[in-house]
Amino acid sequence: MWNRRKEEEPIPKATPKPASVPPTVSQPVKEGIPMSTQPTRPLDTRPEPARGGVAILGKSVILKGQVYGREDVTIDGEVEGTVELQEHRLTVGPTGKVVATIKAREIVVLGTVQGNIETREKIEIRKDAKVVGDIRTARIVIEDGAFFKGSIDIIRAEAPKPAAVPAKPQPVAAAGSSSPAAAASAGDNKR
Partner 1 sequence: MAILDFAGASQATVSFVTNYGHRLYSDDFVRQLDRVFGSAPAGANDTEFFENQTNPALVSDFFELALNFDDGSFDGALVWDSLQFLSSPLLQTVVAKLHRMLRPGANLMALFHTDERIENIPTYAYRIHDKRTIQMVSRSQRKPAQIFNNRNLEKLFQDFQSVKFFLTRDRLREVIVRR
Task: Kindly state the smallest distance separating residue 143's Cβ from partner 1, in Å.
Answer: 8
Amino acid at the residue 139: R
**Closer to partner 1 by Cβ: residue 81 or 150:** 150
> Can residue 50 be called a binding residue for partner 1 (CB under 8 A)?
no
**Closer to partner 1 by Cβ: residue 68 or 147:** 147
Q: Across-strand partners of 137?
A: 154
Q: Which of 93, 95, 101, 94 is nearest to 73 (CA)?
A: 93
Question: At CA 75, angle to CA 69 and CA 80, rounded to 5?
Answer: 80
Task: Kindly state the smallest distance separating residue 153's Cβ from partner 1, in Å.
Answer: 5
Q: Rule CB under 8 A: which of 133-162 touch partner 1?
A: 140-144, 146-154, 156
**Closer to partner 1 by Cβ: residue 73 or 108:** 108
- Please classify residue 65 by burial: count the beta carbons closer than 10 Å to its beta carbon, then call 0-12 exposed, 13-18 middle and 19+ buried: exposed
> What does the radius of gyration of the chain's CA atoms come to, in whole angstroms?
33
Cα separation, 21 vs 17, in Å, equals 7
Do residues 57 and 77 make contact, with C-beta atoms less than 8 angstroms apart?
A: yes
Task: Kindly state the smallest distance separating residue 147's Cβ from partner 1, in Å.
Answer: 7
> Can residue 121 be called a binding residue for partner 1 (CB under 8 A)?
no
> Can residue 99 be called a binding residue for partner 1 (CB under 8 A)?
no
Task: Kindly state the smallest distance separating residue 103's Cβ from partner 1, in Å.
Answer: 19
Residues that bind partner 1 (CB under 8 A): 125, 140-144, 146-154, 156
